[in-house]
């Protein structure tokens, strides 16, 4: 029988409470912001995520995964938990004015031509 060399190693599905799917549909580029709610019994990873927002204002799911060292699929589940309890919210940005983007594109074309 193989023994693990790192006794602190925890399988990702354990960190997600055995769940394989998040309750929210979150893209890795989805931006989340603090929501002000509280979670009754947060796990250690939930606490790590919330601690990040003490120093950061808005973060993507991918950034959160990188900072806490958890696979993105697990991070989606953990972030979904926090959204469900109102601790985090998905940031929805207004669509940019396309006329500004078209002007920038024309300027770039002039630079290359």
pLDDT at position 2 is 56
Q: CA distances (Å), 91 to each of 26, 31, 103, in order?
A: 11, 5, 27
User: What are the domain boundaries of the chain?
Assistant: 12-112
> Which tokens go with 29?
């580029």
CB atoms inside a 10 Å sphere around CB 48: 16
pLDDT digits (tens), the chain, 113 positions? 455 555 556 666 566 665 667 778 888 888 999 988 887 888 888 888 999 988 678 899 999 999 988 888 889 999 999 999 899 999 876 666 788 788 888 999 988 87
What is the structure's pLDDT at 23?
A: 76
Please report where in the chains the tokens 């927002």 appear, as a residue: 53
- Residue recorded with tokens 């290359």: 112
pTM of the model: 0.67
Q: What is the pLDDT of residue 8?
A: 57
pLDDT of residue 62: 93
- Look-up: residue for tokens 């074309």? 109
Assigned fold of 12-112: Arc Repressor Mutant, subunit A (1.10.10)
Q: What pLDDT does residue 5 have?
A: 57
């Amino acid at each position: 029988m193989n023994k693990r060399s790192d006794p602190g190693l925890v399988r990702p599905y354990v960190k997600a409470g055995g769940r394989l799917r998040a309750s929210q549909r979150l893209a890795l580029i989805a931006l989340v912001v603090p929501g002000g709610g509280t979670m009754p019994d947060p796990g250690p990873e939930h606490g790590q995520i919330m601690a990040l927002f003490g120093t950061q204002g808005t973060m993507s799911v991918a950034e959160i995964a990188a900072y806490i060292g958890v696979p993105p699929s697990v991070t989606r589940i953990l972030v979904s938990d926090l959204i469900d309890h109102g601790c985090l919210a998905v940031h929805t940005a207004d669509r940019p004015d396309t006329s500004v983007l078209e002007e920038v594109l024309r300027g770039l074309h002039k630079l290359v031509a």
